Amino acid sequence: MKWIVSVCVLIGLALASTAGAQVQTGSILIRAVDDQGAVMPGVTVTISSPVLVAGSMTGVTDAGGVNRFPSLVPGVYTVKTELSGFKTMTRENIAVLVGQTTPVEFAMQVASLAETITVTGASPTVDTTSANVAVNLSSELIQGTPGGRDIWGLLEAKVPGLVMSRPDVGGTSGGLQGVFSARGTASAQNTSFLNGVNVGDPAAIGAAGFYYDVGAFDDIQVSTGSHDITVPTSGVFLNMITKTGGNRWAGSSTVTWTGDNLQGRNDTDPTLQKYGFRPNSNTSDFVSDVNFGIGGPLVQNKLRFYGSFRDWRVHTNVPVQLSIFKGFRHGINKPKANRAAMQQNLDWFTRYIWNQPSGTQQ
């Protein structure tokens, strides 16, 4: 039985300085122009969002009419621009994705009176400032996709051109990490980051060193080409960002269970049993998954907490490769019988599979 328990605890603290690593965050690029298309310096820009620990951030456009807010936590933002003599303009529902820049342009209008224009609607999330080829998997997409709640199985279904080493049907392979590749690169060239930290396995180059709690993820960027300059390799870049809590306490829970009645099998076929496949080999008795998380403010607008727990079990019978073929005289559990069992196995395959006399194998 495979039994995986993961615990994720995160505490966020509001700091005066901002981190410079774009790879684990996103950004908003503001450009302000007048009704003639000329750039407008000195425009006050304010962004606000529940995902910001301080609640809001303020900046001013430079001589080119541009202001960038870097190192933003993925989420939905509101952007407001203000300048004396011009209408105050507000854009809502500006989506910020990990590893991407969201460009927003404001056409400032002269105001005869104090006026405010609010634009409501989903903003485009196409990053026109980068050639990066990537797919972002939001927490809603991760939780809403039917499957085994396994990010390895999710990647092949949601990322065009990405190939996995093994499928995951209903979560039965969730305890076996799969490797993946894209655009002709080898899986050994892959890189995995978790909140900006390289979590690659030094003992299995290209694979991640951990099994993950999918309920704790806020956004996953899967980059397959033209990576950010900070990415150390040219293979697939798996960029995972966890949740951080908000300005109010909230939680979520997921409980799933799958029994053996939902799986099909053909290992009872006499032909397969003739070649050593035993009934019920490598089948799953059940798959269970209990996952819950909670987060909120410890100190309002200063300190936040988020924690997540997952108990994930895949109860699997003895796999096929441990079967002892009918007629074998030796079992691998007998003392000093390993060599004899291996030799007899080879003789059996030579005779019945390769149709050659015993002792002729190379």
Asked whether the predicted pLDDT for residue 44 surpasses 90, the reply is yes
Q: What is the mean pLDDT of the chain?
A: 78
What confidence score (pLDDT) does residue 48 get? 92
Task: For residues 101-111, give the mean pLDDT.
Answer: 88
Is the domain covering 133-242 a CATH 3.40.50.300 domain? no
Provide CB contacts within 8 A for 48, sequence distance 6+. 55, 56, 57, 77, 78, 80
Q: Which of 31-45, 190-204, 232-246, 344-358 has the highest mean pLDDT?
A: 31-45
Does residue 274 or residue 74 have the better pLDDT? 74
The Cα-based distances of 195 to 10, 49, 216, 243, 246 in angstroms read: 11, 20, 12, 10, 17
Asked whether the predicted pLDDT for residue 177 surpasses 80, the reply is no
What confidence score (pLDDT) does residue 258 get? 82
What confidence score (pLDDT) does residue 13 get? 44
Percent of the chain residues past pLDDT 70, beyond the cut: 75
What confidence score (pLDDT) does residue 57 get? 92
How buried is 238 (Cβ within 10 angstroms: 0-12 exposed, 13-18 middle, 19+ buried)? buried
- Asked if 290 and 310 count as a contact pair (C-beta separation under 8 A), the reply is yes
What confidence score (pLDDT) does residue 187 get? 86
pLDDT tens per residue across span 313-350: 877 765 444 445 454 444 455 555 566 666 777 777 77
Please give the Cα distance from 276 to 283 (Å, whole number). Answer: 16
Asked whether the predicted pLDDT for residue 270 surpasses 50, the reply is yes
What confidence score (pLDDT) does residue 175 get? 65
Task: For residues 40-50, give the mean pLDDT.
Answer: 92
What confidence score (pLDDT) does residue 78 get? 92
What's the CATH number for 19-119? 2.60.40.10
Asked whether the predicted pLDDT for residue 58 surpasses 90, the reply is yes
Task: For residues 130-146, give the mean pLDDT.
Answer: 82
Please give the Cα distance from 234 to 133 (Å, whole number). Answer: 12
Asked whether the predicted pLDDT for residue 5 surpasses 60, the reply is no
Percent of the chain residues past pLDDT 90, beyond the cut: 13
Task: For residues 177-195, give the mean pLDDT.
Answer: 85
Confidence of residue 22 (pLDDT cuts 50, 70, 90): very low
Domain boundaries, the chain: 19-119, 133-242, 250-320, 324-352
Please give the Cα distance from 98 to 220 (Å, whole number). Answer: 7
Q: Would you call 157 helix, strand, or coil by DSSP?
A: helix
Task: For residues 235-262, give the mean pLDDT.
Answer: 86
**pTM for the structure as a whole:** 0.68
Strands (E), 23-124: 26-33, 44-48, 56-60, 66-72, 75-82, 88-96, 101-107, 116-119
Q: Which of 155-159, 199-203, 352-356 shows the lowest mean pLDDT across its residues?
A: 352-356
Confidence of residue 196 (pLDDT cuts 50, 70, 90): confident
